[in-house]
Amino acid sequence: MADFYFQLPELLRLTLQSLAVILVIFPIAGACSLAERKVAAWIQGRPGPNRVVFPWFAHIPILGGFVKRLGLFQLAADGGKLLFKEDPIPGHVHKFYFVAAPLVAMIPAFTTVTVLPFGAYWDAAKGTMLPLILANVDIGILAIFAIGSLGVYSIILAGWSSNSKYPFIGGVRASAQLISYELSLTLAVLPVFMWINTPGAEGSLSLVRVVDMQSGTSFGGGLWFIMVMPLSALIFLIALFAETNRAPFDMPESEADLVGGFHTEYGAFKWSLFFVAEYAHMTVGSGLFTVLFLGGWNPLPWVPMSTLVHLLHLENLPLVVGVLSIAIFLVKVLLLIFLFMWVRWTLPRFRYDQVMKIGWQRLLPLAIANLIFYVVLVRFVNFS
């Protein structure tokens, strides 16, 4: 099957890969919006969405009532409402940029997925695990940071083009917050790549290599990097909350003092695209954290996927191995997404001055100190 796929014309393969990204990320983002409301309801002691159901489905014994209480059809109701709802454009906005901003928000969210490995399969001929990834480039982390950072331009564009003071302030806040936390985010990742690029080894910024180093081929023999570099993982996670504009760092929205922030003038489908992009960024960020610090698709520390393949005698079933590795990866990503939601509905929003103080006076010095520590450690630890 793999040979047949790679024999297809390159343009057709790229088109199929692009459609696959859209067909996967859009449903995940939609499901996250429903999950957010259910998690909020659970934390706050209320039922959440539990009324919407197709009339014919409600009459199915047991199953109809169960699905109705879960609120699964709420997603279809919301999607239909946002798609067909009237979507007027206010007269005072800069129309071209106003319409372009939601589309610009989607591009980085979907593009970064292409360089993120999400599983692996067993190659019996080579006797090794091969990654499942759309574009296996050697600068994976650099590509994610470079493209992902462009997402802030959509917020700035939306705030400026709205030609209104509250959205504009939201856009300004977004740019300041991005700069403040992107420094700490990058510094938190550098120890990981210093660790995998040991003296004498070939240099690489590959995310696949990061997972390989957590699969038993590095110092610690399969130790996940969250155990080797817990402070790096904590700094990266906090900065990730800020970079994805999630509470308690959602300064660009901050409806308590900015009405609705950068998307105040938006409605219907254009409004929903901003939140699809936010959930997509959250999903990619959770996947990146999984790859960097949680062993990727490896089931447990010191138990790499290749060991599980041998234990279950799956050497001749590459498709089963691939599905199993993707399932393990998705479980970790979903747990991190749940953490994002849990924090949102638990902690109050920071003030803007507190966000800046945390970024510049707390997180950045801590990230620099952490980097210096691992520079010294990598220099003196024997990796052989």
The pLDDT tens digits for 258-276 are 667 788 888 888 888 888 8
For residue range 153-169, list pLDDT tens digits in order. 888 899 999 988 888 88
If you average pLDDT over residues 120-136, what whole number do you get?
87
Higher pLDDT pick, 216 / 191: 191
- Distance CA(270)–CA(171), nearest Å, equals 17
Q: Tell me the residue length of the chain.
A: 384
pLDDT above 70 coverage of the chain, percent: 93
- Distance CA(47)–CA(283), nearest Å, equals 25
- Distance CA(33)–CA(275), nearest Å, equals 8
Confirm whether 144 is domain-assigned: yes
So what's the pLDDT on residue 85? 87
What's the number of domains the chain is made of?
1
Confirm whether 86 is domain-assigned: no
Confirm whether 9 is domain-assigned: no
So what's the pLDDT on residue 70? 83
Q: Which residue has the tokens 């996967």?
A: 24
Q: List the beta strands (DSSP E) in the chain.
A: 119-123, 128-132
If you average pLDDT over residues 195-214, what whole number do you get?
84
Confirm whether 237 is domain-assigned: yes
Confirm whether 55 is domain-assigned: no
CB contact set of 125 (below 8 Å; sequence gap of 6+)? none
Task: Identify the domain containing residue 117 by its residue range.
Answer: 95-380
Find residue 303's DSSP bridge partners: 300
Q: Which residue has the tokens 């798609």?
A: 83
If you average pLDDT over residues 311-338, what whole number do you get?
92
Confirm whether 157 is domain-assigned: yes
What's the pLDDT band for 4 if we cut at 50, 70, 90? Answer: low
Q: Is the pTM of this model over 0.95?
A: no
Confirm whether 69 is domain-assigned: no
Residue 384 has pLDDT above 50, yes or no: no
pLDDT above 90 coverage of the chain, percent: 37
Confirm whether 38 is domain-assigned: no
CB contact set of 15 (below 8 Å; sequence gap of 6+)? none
Angstrom CA distances, 185 to 145, 172, 276, 284, 361, stand at 9, 20, 23, 14, 15
Task: Please choose, from the candidates 292, 288, 175, the residue with its C-alpha nearest in 3D space to the C-alpha of residue 242.
Answer: 175
So what's the pLDDT on residue 262? 82
